[in-house]
Structure 1
């Protein structure tokens, strides 16, 4: 039997992924510099509440609070010995929230980058990265994650290592890279290069695409590069909700719910199958995206000029109206 995400993609033209984890937890009281993953143990009710808010806003897929819960990143907090416990708890919190929903919700085990530079530029080998990811993946699977969600990757070698980890634990997976303005990842990878890697993997993902890095218009430009690559796997788009600023004791991003709703419709019309948000994307953003996807009829495939014009117009309108 196929995994639930594949079945849902076979039944629906689009799926809504959730919004941000870290920035929302920050606005819920997470201290600056504190690892969000530690809240799986110290503030589980708040993590679970955020999952439930995302589901109530329309999310078909939620990511566990485990983006940085690998051994190398947890070492910064002195918690490298808690990889298994924190990931197991993260998956359990998401699982419980999904079980409370009145509809199918897929639980994706979030795995962010190791935080180390991959060889040959850095010192971390693919074998070492695979072991790091495998340790995390095993705990996420045991906790109830249905698939792995490898995100914000910048190097092909690290994506390949995460794919090997998913294969070793026997889970389906999705993978997204983070691209800078100009259309390359921090390590210089282009969308066609990522698409070519995906084509060659012995354990390919269910879907792949881009997240974080840039705002909605820039990320859609990146997705245009994937769409032109010829790779027929479903695409993922999860941009930041614009640019952040500090206001009233929290982080506020300049892409309003109305702007992210416009992004969601454009992404759908571009052929993206899994649409969500990254940093700054709140349940309010997600609810607006969900409503727009349901209420706005499908339109023609947008080109880069259309994307830029429509997102720009939505940003200007939001600035003028304060919406």
Structure 2
């Protein structure tokens, strides 16, 4: 996919407008009847039409990047659903679905292979060693790259140990594939392990990824502050912002997000003016 990778980097370096990504996958799956505790990644195999429809809707809305439905398609998370022996199959199916939808759209849309956290703390704060985590990430990255993604999105990471392990794993699979590495922050504007936006920007920049990202977290207002701190720290960096639609709330057995489209639109303009090259949405955005 060298040609598409080059095209993505060319597009990234154009300063005339931001690259717009899709929004949440899980939120729309839940809205369309999928139970919140289901294995969303398995739907690539069991309900491909539902996943494809969401990709199609986002492309029609103007998304230039769509994320594969593989946020939890690593061995550690799939094992909870008895699917740990189907990592390659689940990831390949997700990429193939996205490719078919993009081809049918007749638009230039980049496919980001989505890699999320493993859901377990890494050493020295947990039992899983960094080397083991790297191998888990590498297995998923290999499946995504082999299937033909245009770039890799490492997202919603809660600590820098995991970010480094994931980036190193991807680089072992394909040294040249574009990478967006994105972290999530707590309400106090720090990572789970206490890193500030400035520290995160410096350490992710040192990994030589294409884009330094912030996603999920507490919504547009919080992420605008974090973005500005990062841009001040690495002025020549490329940045992505994909916020939640605010902090989630439970209502009538459903997960609700308070931020509406107009509110989100206003902040999207602020993200661009503050230095974001890639703008999209996370949980609660549709």
> Structure 1 length as normaliser, TM-score?
0.83
**What count of residue pairs does the alignment treat as equivalent?**
280
SS in 2 for 1:118: coil
Counterpart residue number, 2:198:
192
SS in 2 for 1:145: coil
SS in 2 for 1:237: strand
Counterpart residue number, 1:108:
112
Cα separation, 2, equivalents of 1:139 and 1:167: 14
Map residues 111-150 of structure 1 onto 2, 5 A cutoff. 111-150=115-154
Deviations for 1:66-111, whole angstroms, at most 9, x for unmatched residues?
Answer: 0000011111111111111001111111111122223211100000
Greater Cα shift, 184-193 or 209-218: 184-193
- Asked if the contact 1:178–1:211 (Cα under 8 Å) also holds between the matched residues in 2, the reply is yes
Counterpart residue number, 1:25:
29
Q: CA deviation at 1:23?
A: 1.2
Counterpart residue number, 1:81:
85
- Asked if the contact 2:202–2:234 (Cα under 8 Å) also holds between the matched residues in 1, the reply is no
Cα separation, 2, equivalents of 1:101 and 1:150: 26
Map residues 164-203 of structure 1 onto 2, 5 A cutoff. 164-170=168-174, 171-201=177-207
Q: CA deviation at 1:248?
A: 7.1
Deviations for 1:15-45, whole angstroms, at most 9, x for unmatched residues?
Answer: 1011001111111111131111010011100
Larger radius of gyration: 1
1:7 equivalent among 2, 7, 10: 10
Cα separation, 2, equivalents of 1:143 and 1:29: 28
Counterpart residue number, 2:277:
273
1:60 equivalent among 61, 64, 73: 64
SS in 1 for 2:62: coil
Q: CA deviation at 1:10?
A: 2.4
Q: CA deviation at 1:246?
A: 4.7
Q: CA deviation at 1:185?
A: 1.2
> Structure 2 length as normaliser, TM-score?
0.93
Cα separation, 2, equivalents of 1:131 and 1:217: 36
1:232 paired to 2:236:
yes
Q: Kindly report the root-mean-square deviation, in angstroms, between the aligned alpha carbons of the 2 structures.
A: 1.5
